[in-house]
Amino acid sequence: MNTTRRHGLARVLSKRGVCSRTQAAQWIRDGRVALAGKVIHDPEHPTPMDSDRISIDGKPLGAAAMVHLMLNKPRGLVTTVDDERGRDTVYRCFDGAGLGWISPVGRLDKASEGLLLFSNDPQWAARITGPDTGPDKTYHVQVNAIPGAAQLASLIDGVVVEGERLSAKSARLLRGGEKNAWVEIVLDQGRNRQIRRLLSGLDIEVLRLVRVAIGELALGELPKGQWRMLSAEEVAALS
């Protein structure tokens, strides 16, 4: 009896870093993917994860080279492949790079900027974004107030916003002016627009939000809109 574990063909292509699962399913429905020489039209067709008999457009599927990179995301770009409203996306930063399929590892909203990871390695991405395995994320946030010690302590203790309790792992004042300040906030969990919602619970408005580090990986001097590959040591340290 063959006990080799099988998965849907679209999932196999995605897990092997070829393309997204959605794109793989479309390729299969379009008749572009064959298994052992037979064209498959069902994205859920049972397939061994390590199958060496898959071909796309008549070309055998080899092992995809793993890509792990960091981008200094500019403000105003949407973190998605395609935007239904026609807005510019982060993929504009990779025009002409010939990177193949890569996916964002986590998110930064349109108004936020800074360190954003990309990869075609789903297992690595899952470890980074997982609530129990992901590294801390560090942000520098410009706000329209000068938070006092009590407000900074409240960010750590937690604030209830729309029935949900939100909190930061740490928060400290970096520098302040007459009317606004920069605050460093570290999160050990990832929720939608968490920092903006957390600060709004204290009636503090975010003027600028920059992610400056993920774990020990710092944004450093990487110019805005530019990207670089991660070293093997950086990849290992994040996972």
Residue type, 230: L
Domain 6-60 has CATH 3.10.290.10: yes
For 150-164, what is each residue's pLDDT tens digit? 999 999 999 999 889
How confident is the model at residue 1, as a pLDDT?
43
- Token pair, residue 181, equals 């300040």
- Confidence band (pLDDT; 50, 70, 90) for 56? very high
Catalytic machinery residues: 109
Those residues whose C-beta lies under 8 Å from the C-beta of residue 165, and which sit 6 or more positions away, are: 158, 159
How confident is the model at residue 45, as a pLDDT?
95
- Kindly report the pTM of this predicted structure: 0.81
Those residues whose C-beta lies under 8 Å from the C-beta of residue 109, and which sit 6 or more positions away, are: 79, 193
- Token pair, residue 131, equals 């609530």
| CATH class as words, domain 68-132+219-238 | alpha beta
Q: Looking at the domain that runs over 137-214, which CATH code has it been given?
A: 3.30.2350.10
- Token pair, residue 163, equals 């029935």
Domain positions in the chain are 6-60, 68-132+219-238, 137-214
How confident is the model at residue 238, as a pLDDT?
94
Cα–chain center distance at 39: 33
For 182-218, what is each residue's pLDDT tens digit? 999 999 987 888 999 999 999 999 999 999 999 999 9
